[in-house]
Amino acid sequence: VSSEDLPAAPRFPARAGAGTRRKPRQRTLSQAAIVDAALGIVDHDGLDALTMRTVAHALGTGPASLYAHVASKEQLIELLVERVIGEVEFGCAPDPERWAEQVKEAANNMRRVFASHGDLARASFGRIPVGANALRGAEWMIAVLRAGGLSDQVTGLAVDLIALYTMAVAYEDGLAVAGGNTVEEIVAFIGRLRKYYASLPTDRFPNVVALAGELTAGDENTRFEFGLEVLIRGLEAVSRQEG
C-alpha cells in the first residue's frame, strides 16, 4: 500500500510537481487526513464538489493550509486515485485454465470499486498510474495474461486495452452518478432515447430507427460484460493468428 520503497516514478511534463513532506509532524493535518477528507467529499458530493476549499473546510481549516502537505489539487487527485486503486482486490493466483474469467473478475472489481467512489473515475481516466497499488494491479494482470498463453507482445498491449476499456466504462458510470440521477431517472432517460431513435426520419436514418431497441437494450452490467467478452475473444483470435 505504501510506495516509498519504489524508485522515483517518471512524471509527464505537464503534470504538476511532486515533492511534499514525507512524514508530516502529524499535528492535526497530514497528507493521509487530507486524502481521507477529499475522498469523503467525492463519495458524498462528487468530483465537482472537490475543492481545496471544501477539503479544508472538512478539516476545519483554510485552503492555504493544505499546501504544506499536498503540492496541488492535481497531486491530491493523484493520491486519491492511488488510494482507490488500492481497494481493488486482485485475489487468486493466475490460473492458465481460467485466465478469461480472472480478467473479467478483476475488471468487474475495478469497475465496482470506482462506482463506490462517485465519479472519481473521471479524474482517473487518461492518467498513467505509477503508484504501488496500480503497479500491483498491472503485475497481476500481466501474470494472468501470460499464464493464459498470450505472447509478451500481445500482453503488453492488452494490459492497456483492458484498463482503458474498464476505466472508460467506469467514467460513464460516474456521469450518471455525478448528475445526482436516480436509477429510475436513468431508466426513464434510456426510454426517451429509444423513442427518439425510433421517431427519426426513416429515409435518412433507416438503420438507427430499425435498431432503436437494440441500441438502448441491456443494462450497464450486460453492456460491460459484452465488451469484456469481445475484448477477450479478440485477444484470443489475435494470439492465434500471431503464432
Partner DNA sequence: ACCTGAACACCGTTCAAGT
Site for a second copy, residues 169 to 228, rule: CB under 8 A: 169, 171-172, 175-176, 178-181, 185, 189, 192-193, 195-196, 199-201, 204-208, 210-211, 213-218, 223, 226-227
Q: Which does 84 bind (CB under 5 to 8 A by kind): DNA, a second copy, none?
A: none
Q: Taking CB under 7 A as the rule, which mask of x and - marks residues 120-159 in contact with DNA?
A: ----------------------------------------
Estimate the crossing angle of helix 31-45 against helix 73-85, to 10 degrees.
Answer: 80
Site for DNA in 22-51 (CB under 7 A): 24-25, 27-29, 50-51
Residue closer to DNA, measured from CB, 118 or 148: 118
User: What residues contact 81, with CB distance under 8 A and at least 6 apart?
Assistant: 120, 123, 124, 127, 129
Query: Burial of 199 by CB count in 10 Å (0-12 exposed, 13-18 middle, 19+ buried)?
Result: exposed
Site for a second copy in 105-164 (CB under 8 A): 122, 125-126, 128, 130, 135-136, 138-139, 142-143, 146, 152-153, 155-161, 164
230 binds a second copy (CB under 8 A): yes
242 binds a second copy (CB under 8 A): no
Angstrom CA distances, 134 to 130, 209, 221, stand at 6, 43, 24
CB atoms within 10 A of CB 196: 12
| Contact (CB, 8 A) for 131 and 80 | no
